[in-house]
Structure 1
Amino acid sequence: MTENLHHKKGNNIKEKISEDFWVKKLKGGVYSQLYTLRSERAIEFREHILEVPEDIKEKLYAVTKGDSKNYFVLICSALAINHSFYCQDEDIIINSPNLVIGGVENARKSPLFYRLKISPDLSPAEVIEVMKKEFQLAFEYRNYNYDTFRDRAADSFDMQALGQVGLRIPGLTSADPDYNVSEIQFHYQMEDSILSINYDASKFEAELIGRYGKHFLNVIRAILFARDTRIASLFLPEQGQQKELLQTFNNTFVSINEEATVVHLFEAACSAYPHHVAIQTPDVSLTYKELNSLTDALADYLLAKYELAPETVVGVMVDRSEWIIVSILGILKAGFAFLPIDPDYPVNRIRFLIGDSESPLIISESKYLPLLEGFTALDILEAPLNPNPAKVNKAVSHGLAYMIYTSGSTGLPKGVLVEHTGLTNHVNWFSRCFAVKDTDSSILVSSYSWDGNYSIIWSCLVNGGKLHILPNDQIVDTSFLLDYISRYSVTYLKLVPSFFSALIASDIFRNAISSWSLRLIVLGGEPINISHLKKYLTKYPTTLFANHYGPTEATIGATTQIIGIENLAEFSRLPVIGSPYDNCEIYILDKNRNLLPVGVTGELYIGGRGVARGYWNRRELNQEKFLNNPFKEKGRLYRTGDFGFWTNDGKIVFKGRSDFQVKIRGYRIELGEIESVLMQLDYIENAVVLVNLVDEDVKELTAFICSFEIPALERIRTDMSMLLPDFMVPNKFVLVESIPVNINGKTDQERLLALPGRVLGTFSGYLAPRNKVESELIEVLGEVLRNERIGLQDDFFALGGDSIKSIQVVSRLRQRGYQLQ
């Protein structure tokens, strides 16, 4: 009896040691997998049989001497190498059932794990040596309680990482494991040399698994016949695959007029439709003839008044009115390039953009002239423009069209130089793809400092369509905007998905509009909320959507995916950003800039006509981001920092970014720029900014700060608003004692999020609502801001409000019967 107790106690101690081993070994494991489908289907496992060539069978037996343990080490090494390539992840975890020793199954049927670091610079032989040690460790610590381990390890790593891919060899591994089957499970029958893959068909396409298996056999062959070859060379695409990636998927050539610019196309529209309305504002209607004359007059005045060289960058800083378009076209006709400057930007940012761009002239309005003190500015409303100007067009196809600033990781924005040839190519494609005609009309919804709007501006103006420009207060009033779309028969829009979501939350949308005119909605700048697409198309099934992808450095975009009621289910299953369009190319490459095959995630490089000239005065960054195209004799590539993979039919799935850039409300933001601004504040000691996914399509910024004091939230937001646009000011500020770092000296986000920080608030005292109206207002604000305790004296923006949330507040109050003045 006593001996049994001692024996049991000894076993418990051994199990605890083994359990500690696995917790420590697997800490930090990340789920890295092949691409999956979005599916509402139940889990359904299917089998894919791999035909193992005879020479591999023979060599495999000779090398392993028929020993099951040797088989296991070799096949598991190949599996880790193959999975690492397909996931483009060096940290790979393979699982197996527990081991059968001497024909006797282990009493504990807990799974075992083999964690390998797969570098492309290693050889298969080196991986095998590591795998031998992994196998020995797994054997030594095979006796442990998996249920207890799972409870302890839940907070240490992603448990999904343990079940992504597994290996079974009957006779060596348990036939009846006490754990869930892996998403991809390899089975090897030694006696018959049968190799099969069981996979979850609700997640993976059969063709992908077929490619995966074929590459796996290639790795086995390399291990057997060329084990000293570098891993990176094992996956170079074969000739047929190269042709598919370089020619089939990038077969985008479309002939265009090499000499034409958007100015030439606009003037052709003026000749064809002189009496059509080109610009419509609440106060002004300009026909094409009138707009053409005004822009000729401005170009003539600029050339006569200012001695500026071709391609000089001239700033535009005006309110939302016809003068946006007049200014831009006048600048382009004079042979200059325009720089869009949103008047709502903080003063310091405005002055930085002007100073950094070395712009010698800013076209603006009288009310903004005090902000431009020290710079040369022209009040466009007071400019003595000739009512009968001569025709002017000095725009050239390879000249500079505009400079536009994007967020910079060093804390300073960077200016992107875009040429006419890229802009013209984009506009020609947009007009052709979406059949834009003179009967079409659109609305300038977002700021003209967002280049996504140039799809709308120019597609209207080169085809004789009507461009509506409304003031900000009418744009943010979604009920008014929807009513306006219906009343004025607007036919197409380009929106960021978060604004689209706010639009369809309106009571007018829910009540349905009988005379709905929208035939096209282009969404770009953020991931699409599929549930909102379904909601819209259920009500208006004839509208087409386009998922538009591309950075500013590729001239607005490079790929698109058309979505309609017919293919909505397919898009829901696998949301794609589509294929490259006219004269654009996409290359998906690994870290060594080798082509990656279908289904393998890599970095997106963009080539073709849309590639920008580069960054203004950023030589080192240009060398890093703008490269010669190794796949063509001529041409350049832009390295996006975005990751994705090809599907079997030549479309691309977007997987995220490699750096610290994010997109908020369509704007590309460097988190480092926000952190840099925070660190400029003398009361901030350290700062880290993270992105918080509030909803499927809503991202918010959270700043974690260290300070010698407890700063007031109003103070931080006010100070940051002096330096950054509102969309870059974090929604939430959390005061922490220190910023934790990992072994590499980088921010440990997991530990940071777990810290007991203090969320800074605005109210020192809580003022409750005093009547029904105030109660309903507070209730709506609470719903939108996801905050249960809001007082009447709290600041909407300090609580995380922004322009999109203000739209939601207005819409929900209207639904309750309130009208806002």
Structure 2
Amino acid sequence: MTLATAVPAATDDSTQSPLLAQWRLIAARLPNQPALTSAGVGFTFAEADRLSDLAALDLVDALGDGDEPVGILSEHTAHALLAILTVLKSGRTHVFLDPHVPVERLGYYTRASGLKVCLVSTNQAEIGADIATSLPFDEIVARAVASTLSETDLADAVEERLAAGRDRQGSDGVSIVFTSGSSGLPKGVLQTEDTLRQQVGYHRQLVGVGPGDRALLTFPLGFVAGVATFLAPLLNGTGMWCFDAREEGIPALRAYLEDKRLTAYYSTPYLAKSLAESLPDGEKLEHLRFILTGGEAITAAGVAALRRVLPESAFYVNGAGSSETGGMIVAWTLPGDAPAPTGVIPAGRAAPNAEVLIVGDDGVELPQGEVGEIVFVSRGLSGGYWRDDERNAELFSVTDDGRRRYRSGDLGRLDDDGNLVMAGRADSAVKVRGYLVEPSEIEAALTGLDEIRDAVVIAQKSDEKPTRLLAYIVPTAGLRAPSTPAVRRALRQTLPEYMVPAEIVQLTALPRTERGKVDRQNLPPVPERVVSDDVLDQHEYVMAQIWCRVLEIPGLDADDDFMALGGDSLSAEELLAAVEDDLGVTLESSDILRFPTLAEFTKRVSNHASALPSDPDVVPLNTGTGGRPLFCIAGAGALALTYLPLARQFPERDVYAFQAHAMERRGLPDRTVTAHAERVIRTMRTVQPHGPYVVVGHSFGGFVALEVAHILRAGGEEVELVAILDTFARDEPGATPSTPSATVESAARPSSGLRGIAAAALDKQVRRILPYGLPEVDQVSRHVRAHLAGVVTHEGQRQFDAIADRSVLALRKHVIQPYDGPVLYVLAKTNDRGLSGWQDILTGDLRVEATETDHTSLLRDPEVQTLASILRKHLEPVGVA
């Protein structure tokens, strides 16, 4: 079965009727049905018809002669929809001005369209006064509501004075929408009667929208999809509910859908996927009959997320189009009983009365499967660029049978099922090493990884240097953020080498325009890295092979920095293990920080030099800044290097990180939390003799940080802040979920009689050695390993686990004293215990901050940016220690 369903041929001639004729017919048939609704306001079809008639009469009086477009500056509300109907009835073309757009750009829209008068909502009066002559629309509506004009007199007035709207021809304008301006200044595009008539019919045939539906409109009304997905369902008898997720947020959107029992959902893929991901596992949007997304491409992961929250009877539609095509012109449908697809999601098949052609550079149509420029042919295309005859002549033409033809400038191909598959812009085609690359394929591979929620891939071009692919990714909330080498390894499982991005940048969110599209112009720049293996000496060349293997990159320069290339604590340990295996040299993780570049690290290994004098348990991450230090304590079994991403966020402060004793060298671990804290304090006082101190602790490190603060304050020192990062408090002895593992008490309750007395005596002797009883059989080896940690060393992760288990033993004996000083508690999204157990301990100035990440990713890029901003908010301005 093919996942793409064919669109039935047009059978309803009503799409040839004028828009206002269709509106009046629907209003007469469904007078008491809800038509336009938003928070706190709603109009039935009859109310909307009468009020827009009265408002249009008011508007015509105010406008006088002329045919200039009319602006509408309003929030995303039912009043905004009523304003569009009002301007439509007045016979003028409207330009919707979205308050989320910067004022400077709104001014540009005003000048470019030539509008002189703007209908303005009360809340936008100040902005409206700056850009055009303002008419307060709320007052116009209030006058219409209060009007006592009879229906007969109103009908006569409409017949006489609103003829321009009633007599609008197919090529006459309805609205001017502005392109996103991704390639220069935004361009105004005229949407005509014919354009929107086609959308009305297409929606009815594609999704069967009609009087039985209740539709949610989230598309901004300044966007062609906003105009089309307002008028198309409405003129098919569907009531429209407005909701602005940019203002209200995803949880409120979910509640609104359920509360209003909406059946038809229209939005961008990004918003729809965010909505789906906000639902608890197993919960579905039971009332929805379909979801239709448009505005940008959707990935297979996005479709799968939507499929999981839709009832089996519901279907999904991926619509595609542009301002120039007049809205949706191709669509791909996934039936409710079909499995979620993989790979690149096609844009779909052409609408009825439309045709998609793929042409080469010479304009000749290409065979199916070949990539070329996409050309659309239809009577329902837009009216072209507003007041730009030269550009219209370049991109628009008329076919022999009278249809309009538009060269899109986009690349694409037709797959075996006849679906259009987009391949990026023709003027920015990506060729890497002679291969034509479709960034959407790479984006699909990236978002196909569970750890990646969102991704965009762009090309960095240069006349002198080869084209590089740059990927920007957003990790999935609740999962550990993937390291750059791990992402590259995963991509190589499904993509050829030339499609693996040269640079992978992790962000907390992709920048987006007010329309929800990825704002490629505001992606952070990636500095170009120069690769010059030919200038490496023989030692550096050998070391470069190891680095490339660990980091999953093709080449290196002598000045490349290991951590800057995406290295993290895990890949650092992999590097050290590889150096020991390949070259027989044993180093510590701190050496990577002291000798961060390939040249420096190679020299360190080649000279077999001894480590610089230092404390092996303390890693200076930032030094020499003169700013008051941050003292950071790692979790159980974690390296001090885990704080490196956080240190990078505080270039104005010295940052010192502490790890457990004997992590990387043989030694006796601290037997108590207090001993651990005292060891930390000895170094702290060397660096900063007196307070105020800032102490940060993650997981088990939170207990140590709190004990450090207790000891410092008992000695008369000031502690500015203790930051506890997602540390679970103990509810009872032995319950330490914040640490990786714990032995479990399993000694049986003694029975009565002599056997019971003997068992009790034995149990008493055992508890002198093992205070929490005998470990379960499958935990015996870990229990023994914990007691021997530091004395007996292990390879790799087993060593870290041993130290972690030793920390558990120390924590079990620790008595946590109440603390009345300032504490910042940072809560990860995956922490379902919250402040449980802490209320009686943290009795002072307690500040709680919640994040949208998991326990581990809290300290990893890019989520660490959020953590850093939280810390800054609660820290005093930086000063010299």
For the aligned pair, the TM-score class normalised by the smaller chain equals 0.5 to 0.7
The counterpart of 2:423, out of the listed 655, 658, 667, is: 655
Contact 1:316 1:324 (8 Å CA) reproduced: yes
Task: Name the CA shift for 1:422/1:284 in 2 (closer, same or farther; >3 Å).
Answer: same
Residue 431 of structure 1: aligned partner: 204
Task: Name the CA shift for 1:460/1:258 in 2 (closer, same or farther; >3 Å).
Answer: closer
Matched, 1:733 2:505: no
Contact 1:254 1:583 (8 Å CA) reproduced: no
Task: Name the CA shift for 1:258/1:319 in 2 (closer, same or farther; >3 Å).
Answer: closer
How many corresponding residue pairs?
Answer: 500
Per-residue deviation at 1:402?
0.7
* Structure 1 counterpart of 2:381, one-letter code: V
Residue 488 of structure 1: aligned partner: 260
Q: Percent identity?
A: 20
Matched, 1:273 2:30: yes
Contact 1:498 1:697 (8 Å CA) reproduced: no
The counterpart of 1:282, out of the listed 14, 39, 48, is: 39
Contact 1:625 1:639 (8 Å CA) reproduced: yes
Distance 2:512 2:294 in 1: 26
The counterpart of 1:402, out of the listed 175, 181, 184, is: 175
Residue 93 of structure 2: aligned partner: 337
Per-residue deviation at 1:505?
1.1
Residue 315 of structure 2: aligned partner: 544
Distance 1:752 1:436 in 2: 57
Matched, 1:561 2:332: yes
Task: Name the CA shift for 1:344/1:536 in 2 (closer, same or farther; >3 Å).
Answer: closer
* Structure 1 counterpart of 2:471, one-letter code: N
Per-residue deviation at 1:694?
1.6
Per-residue deviation at 1:470?
2.9
* Structure 1 counterpart of 2:321, one-letter code: G
Q: Secondary structure at the match of 2:256?
A: helix
Q: Secondary structure at the match of 1:485?
A: helix
Distance 1:644 1:694 in 2: 24
Residue 609 of structure 1: aligned partner: 379
Residue 137 of structure 2: aligned partner: 380
Per-residue deviation at 1:447?
1.8
Contact 2:15 2:197 (8 Å CA) reproduced: no
* Structure 1 counterpart of 2:177, one-letter code: I
Per-residue deviation at 1:414?
0.7
Give CA deviations for 1:467-486 in whole Å, capped at 9, x if unaligned: 1123546742x233223222
Contact 1:442 1:456 (8 Å CA) reproduced: no
Task: Name the CA shift for 1:692/1:734 in 2 (closer, same or farther; >3 Å).
Answer: same
The counterpart of 1:420, out of the listed 190, 193, 196, is: 193
* Structure 1 counterpart of 2:869, one-letter code: D
Distance 1:535 1:375 in 2: 44
Report 1:704-715 matches (<5 A): none
The counterpart of 1:296, out of the listed 46, 53, 59, is: 53
Contact 2:219 2:515 (8 Å CA) reproduced: no
Q: Secondary structure at the match of 1:349?
A: helix
Matched, 1:315 2:71: yes
Per-residue deviation at 1:568?
3.5
Report 1:166-565 matches (<5 A): 256-257=13-14, 260-310=17-67, 312-372=68-128, 373=130, 375-383=132-140, 385-386=143-144, 387=147, 388=149, 389=154, 390-391=157-158, 392=162, 393-394=165-166, 395-408=168-181, 411-472=184-245, 475-476=248-249, 478-508=250-280, 510-513=281-284, 516-538=286-308, 540-565=311-336
Contact 1:403 1:418 (8 Å CA) reproduced: yes
* Structure 1 counterpart of 2:231, one-letter code: W
* Structure 1 counterpart of 2:109, one-letter code: L
Distance 1:721 1:574 in 2: 21
Distance 1:251 1:431 in 2: 10
* Structure 1 counterpart of 2:332, one-letter code: Q
Contact 1:603 1:640 (8 Å CA) reproduced: yes
Q: Secondary structure at the match of 1:585?
A: strand
Distance 2:215 2:15 in 1: 28
Task: Name the CA shift for 1:377/1:505 in 2 (closer, same or farther; >3 Å).
Answer: same
Task: Name the CA shift for 1:567/1:507 in 2 (closer, same or farther; >3 Å).
Answer: closer
Question: What's the Cα RMSD here?
Answer: 4.5
Q: Secondary structure at the match of 2:317?
A: strand
* Structure 1 counterpart of 2:370, one-letter code: V
* Structure 2 counterpart of 1:733, one-letter code: P
Contact 1:736 1:755 (8 Å CA) reproduced: no
Contact 1:474 1:480 (8 Å CA) reproduced: no
Distance 1:550 1:270 in 2: 29
Distance 2:102 2:316 in 1: 34
Contact 1:443 1:490 (8 Å CA) reproduced: yes
Per-residue deviation at 1:592?
0.8
Residue 585 of structure 2: aligned partner: none
Distance 2:304 2:516 in 1: 33
* Structure 2 counterpart of 1:436, one-letter code: V
TM-score, length-normalised on structure 2?
Answer: 0.50
Give CA deviations for 1:455-498 in whole Å, capped at 9, x if unaligned: 4312332133221123546742x233223222321101112222
Contact 1:762 1:795 (8 Å CA) reproduced: no
Contact 2:299 2:344 (8 Å CA) reproduced: no
Alignment gaps of 5+ in structure 2: 430-438, 444-455, 462-466, 478-508, 532-553, 566-644, 656-693, 697-722, 725-822, 829-848, 874-881
Per-residue deviation at 1:264?
2.1
Per-residue deviation at 1:409?
5.9
Q: Secondary structure at the match of 2:20?
A: helix
Per-residue deviation at 1:260?
2.1
The counterpart of 2:473, out of the listed 682, 691, 694, is: 694
* Structure 2 counterpart of 1:658, one-letter code: A
Residue 794 of structure 1: aligned partner: 869
Contact 2:377 2:404 (8 Å CA) reproduced: yes
Residue 826 of structure 2: aligned partner: 774
Matched, 1:637 2:421: no
Q: Secondary structure at the match of 1:430?
A: helix
Distance 1:624 1:453 in 2: 27
Distance 1:371 1:262 in 2: 31
Q: Secondary structure at the match of 1:605?
A: strand
Per-residue deviation at 1:733?
3.1
Give CA deviations for 1:581-620 in whole Å, capped at 9, x if unaligned: 1221111111111111222222110111222121123333
Contact 2:300 2:343 (8 Å CA) reproduced: no
Distance 1:436 1:723 in 2: 27
Contact 1:444 1:457 (8 Å CA) reproduced: yes
Per-residue deviation at 1:693?
4.3
* Structure 1 counterpart of 2:191, one-letter code: V
Task: Name the CA shift for 1:658/1:496 in 2 (closer, same or farther; >3 Å).
Answer: same
Q: Secondary structure at the match of 2:313?
A: coil
Residue 660 of structure 2: aligned partner: none
Q: Secondary structure at the match of 2:40?
A: coil
* Structure 2 counterpart of 1:380, one-letter code: F
Give CA deviations for 1:420-475 in whole Å, capped at 9, x if unaligned: 11111111110232111212011122322222233431233213322112354674
Distance 1:723 1:435 in 2: 29
